[in-house]
Chain A
């Protein structure tokens, strides 16, 4: 902010008649501004008033996320907290997945207009398998951060009119078992503690006795500490509120009771729950911590909750998201790069890269196909050759065999001829012999 004294020569400015060297030097007195005392009333003590006026005209935004099992009393507590009847209806216990339901209301008190958004988890803790329960909540919170980031990165942006939907406070409703936190509670809170300001409350605290409550609170806080869960700490640096905030930090988690019904106590109607054995008064600090919760959440620390969300949780989200996308801080000498346009450029680069790689793969594929083709052709040729060879062998064989057959046939012929000839000869001789015999026989037969 304060630059050391130095001069910069900005070059020459030419015009038709003269050349005048233009320089401007920036110097400031010290690195630090010097303190000065005023000799009279100037009037800038009205600045906080001007600032508050401006904010009053604009209105305020506050977003609360309520996480807790179905039926634990989230909606009732919200009604009691803001002294009004928000439209809500009982949820079923049979939701297949955890859903988040956000409703926005315009509230006004005195001249302050508040745009209040209450986000309720629907079906939290109802599933048989609760492993995915917290994920929807984390996703919802991230989505709100993302919306804001998008708006902030736009070229033409309207941050002043932007309806801030980021969650400023997360009330985590702990079931009044009296023993310890459930594992779902620990896992969920651990996932959320770096994304949102967590304020744990013990719901339906009228079911726990005072001594049990004390032990329960200690157990809860020690479990949170031993698991490294960072819940929201009420700020103690401002001396106006540090005392009360420190005290309240020690009373966490708040044991609350909610009620939209009124009961007559003495001559006043108070918000309470009526039992046969007595009346639990919501706003009686001996009965529960409701008043403390309202005090801390709304009257004392609402602005701090909003600020922490913006300067800590949102900045963390933004930093991680931008680093994830591959951005790093440019050195101070280079021009500022529009993150959005760099994103476009990188995406374009990436797509180009993708295209190139696709092209490469295609080339490689074509190449391989060609190779395989030649291989196959090679093999085909080989086979053809073999086939030819075999054919040739076969025909050779065949011709050989034919020859042999012919020769054999010839031999057979010759033989048959010879045989025939021999037979003939034999037949003749036989005939002769036969004739002789016949004659003989005739001769001989005559004698018979």
Chain B
């Protein structure tokens, strides 16, 4: 088909020359508001690193599983559990279904080999469920999205370097899900220790070929790359979580009160919680979901369909290459 580029004069350029194409933005916004949004965040890390508190701080409400179930005494489970809790939250007319997936028991055993397995299984199970829905003949109007959009990995603030457990987990999982590593309980590190630690971590991630979010290969254009480069220079964010408010300089702020001072969670001079919040929620949330659906999910789908392809090929006694044509 012949293709040509025309510029429709915008409003103000001559009378009655406004068409109204840009009204589609408003239409999309309306549709999005009506449908609401879904977000599934997974938190992974050893017990006691403040995962639940951080989630509560991020979403300014009791979203963690602890607030949902009565735990008289928090026992460290003997195996890895995957617990998922959903909430309907709303802000300025925007409705969101937030699902927080917790992984108690991770990294708490004596032998933590293969601790990534149940988590990998869970993530793949969500992709599987979506795939099943997608290939139905009678499909739902909107397929419910339970795929894990983002996995926040909590690194204990040792100040030295990553542990084998951290490397192993991130190496494997970064291939199937967006990983956002954070340094937990960062209020035990001085600024210098923090910077040193971060640098070491970044080096080790690079050395092990671990691509955490935002992945360099998915930068869309130069502008994107510029913004994401800045972020990549800062990760992992050193965070402190709190759901308690204290009076600081006449204002009520979220913080942790100690004898030597009050750590203000949302103060970027104290910790990098605000950066994490901005990245996850205010600026890159859509992008995180996008990468999950258009890249991670598609990779899973290709693998899965090829698997089946092999099975079918064997069933029919056909040589493998015959069945790998992708055109119908």
Which residues from chain A sit less than 8 Å from chain B, CB to CB?
Answer: 1-2, 10, 13, 15, 17-18, 20-29, 32-57, 60, 81-84, 86-87, 102-112, 114, 117, 150, 153-157, 159-160, 238, 240-241, 268-271, 283, 294-295, 298-304, 307, 311, 315, 318-319, 322-323, 327-329, 332, 335-345, 348-349
Q: Is B233 located at the chain interface by the 8 A CB criterion?
A: no
Dominant SS at the B interface?
Answer: mixed
Which residues from chain B sit less than 8 Å from chain A, CB to CB?
Answer: 1-11, 15-25, 27-34, 37, 39, 58-63, 68-69, 79-94, 96-99, 109, 111, 113-114, 117-118, 121-122, 128, 131-132, 135-139, 141, 144, 146, 220, 254, 277-278, 281-287, 290, 294, 298, 301-302, 304-306, 308-309, 312, 315-316, 318, 323, 326-328
**Docked-complex contact B61 and A155, CB < 8 angstroms:** no
Whole-angstrom distance between the Cβ of B272 and the nearest chain A Cβ: 16
Q: Which residues of the other chain, B, contact A24 by a CB distance below 8 angstroms? A: 79-82, 118, 121-122
Bound together, the chains give a CA A349 to CA B4 distance in angstroms of: 47
**Docked-complex contact A33 and B298, CB < 8 angstroms:** no
Whole-angstrom distance between the Cβ of A309 and the nearest chain B Cβ: 13
Bound together, the chains give a CA A295 to CA B89 distance in angstroms of: 34
What is the total of A-B residue contacts with beta carbons within 8 Å?
A: 296
B61's partner among A29, A38, A47, A86 (CB-CB below 8 A) is: A38
**Docked-complex contact B15 and A270, CB < 8 angstroms:** yes
**Docked-complex contact B4 and A105, CB < 8 angstroms:** yes
A153's partner among B109, B141, B144, B328 (CB-CB below 8 A) is: B328
Q: Which residues of the other chain, B, contact A82 by a CB distance below 8 angstroms? A: 8, 19
* Shortest Cβ distance from A332 into B: residue: B132
**Docked-complex contact A315 and B139, CB < 8 angstroms:** yes
Q: Which residues of the other chain, A, contact B132 by a CB distance below 8 angstroms? A: 332, 336
B118's partner among A10, A328, A339 (CB-CB below 8 A) is: A10
* Shortest Cβ distance from A303 into B: residue: B27
**Docked-complex contact A17 and B84, CB < 8 angstroms:** no
Q: Which residues of the other chain, B, contact A157 by a CB distance below 8 angstroms? A: 298
**Docked-complex contact A22 and B117, CB < 8 angstroms:** yes
Whole-angstrom distance between the Cβ of A139 and the nearest chain B Cβ: 17
* Shortest Cβ distance from B293 into A: residue: A160
Q: Which residues of the other chain, A, contact B8 by a CB distance below 8 angstroms? A: 82-84, 107-109
Bound together, the chains give a CA A307 to CA B136 distance in angstroms of: 19
Whole-angstrom distance between the Cβ of A33 and the nearest chain B Cβ: 4
B315's partner among A311, A322, A345 (CB-CB below 8 A) is: A345
**Docked-complex contact A38 and B21, CB < 8 angstroms:** no
Closest 9 CB pairs of A and B: A33-B86, A303-B27, A299-B20, A24-B118, A50-B286, A338-B305, A1-B144, A45-B92, A40-B60
Q: Which residues of the other chain, B, contact A341 by a CB distance below 8 angstroms? A: 305, 308-309, 312, 323
Q: List 23 A-B contacts (CB under 8 A).
A: A22-B117, A25-B82, A36-B63, A38-B89, A39-B61, A42-B60, A44-B89, A44-B281, A50-B285, A52-B25, A83-B19, A109-B22, A112-B24, A150-B327, A153-B328, A155-B302, A157-B298, A270-B16, A298-B21, A304-B31, A318-B137, A336-B305, A344-B312
* Shortest Cβ distance from B221 into A: residue: A57
**Docked-complex contact A304 and B4, CB < 8 angstroms:** no
Bound together, the chains give a CA A84 to CA B96 distance in angstroms of: 41
Whole-angstrom distance between the Cβ of B138 and the nearest chain A Cβ: 6
B22's partner among A34, A111, A154, A303 (CB-CB below 8 A) is: A111
Whole-angstrom distance between the Cβ of B24 and the nearest chain A Cβ: 5
Whole-angstrom distance between the Cβ of A17 and the nearest chain B Cβ: 7
Bound together, the chains give a CA A55 to CA B29 distance in angstroms of: 11
**Docked-complex contact A107 and B21, CB < 8 angstroms:** yes
**Docked-complex contact A106 and B84, CB < 8 angstroms:** no
B85's partner among A22, A28, A84, A105 (CB-CB below 8 A) is: A28
A106's partner among B5, B37, B58 (CB-CB below 8 A) is: B5
Dominant SS at the A interface?
Answer: mixed
Whole-angstrom distance between the Cβ of A155 and the nearest chain B Cβ: 5
A42's partner among B27, B281, B284 (CB-CB below 8 A) is: B281
Whole-angstrom distance between the Cβ of B105 and the nearest chain A Cβ: 9
**Docked-complex contact A13 and B114, CB < 8 angstroms:** yes
A15's partner among B5, B30, B80, B113 (CB-CB below 8 A) is: B113
Q: Which residues of the other chain, B, contact A56 by a CB distance below 8 angstroms? A: 25
**Docked-complex contact A36 and B62, CB < 8 angstroms:** yes
A44-B94 CB under 8 A given contacts A36-B89, A343-B328: yes
**Docked-complex contact A105 and B27, CB < 8 angstroms:** no
Q: Which residues of the other chain, B, contact A50 by a CB distance below 8 angstroms? A: 283-287
B79's partner among A22, A112, A114 (CB-CB below 8 A) is: A22
**Docked-complex contact B68 and A29, CB < 8 angstroms:** yes
Q: Which residues of the other chain, A, contact B68 by a CB distance below 8 angstroms? A: 29, 34
**Docked-complex contact A48 and B27, CB < 8 angstroms:** no
Bound together, the chains give a CA A214 to CA B219 distance in angstroms of: 57
Q: Which residues of the other chain, B, contact A29 by a CB distance below 8 angstroms? A: 68-69, 85-86
A109-B286 CB under 8 A given contacts A37-B61, A60-B24, A336-B131: no
**Docked-complex contact B31 and A303, CB < 8 angstroms:** yes
A109-B19 CB under 8 A given contacts A22-B118, A340-B328: yes
**Docked-complex contact B83 and A27, CB < 8 angstroms:** yes
Whole-angstrom distance between the Cβ of B172 and the nearest chain A Cβ: 15
- What would 14 more interface pairs be, CB under 8 Å, given A340-B328, A345-B312? A22-B80, A24-B80, A24-B118, A33-B97, A37-B61, A44-B96, A60-B24, A83-B9, A110-B10, A111-B22, A153-B328, A270-B16, A329-B138, A348-B318
**Docked-complex contact B25 and A81, CB < 8 angstroms:** no
Whole-angstrom distance between the Cβ of A197 and the nearest chain B Cβ: 15
B282's partner among A44, A329, A345 (CB-CB below 8 A) is: A44
A47-B285 CB under 8 A given contacts A38-B91, A271-B16, A341-B312: yes
Bound together, the chains give a CA A35 to CA B84 distance in angstroms of: 15
Bound together, the chains give a CA A286 to CA B326 distance in angstroms of: 56
Whole-angstrom distance between the Cβ of B315 and the nearest chain A Cβ: 7
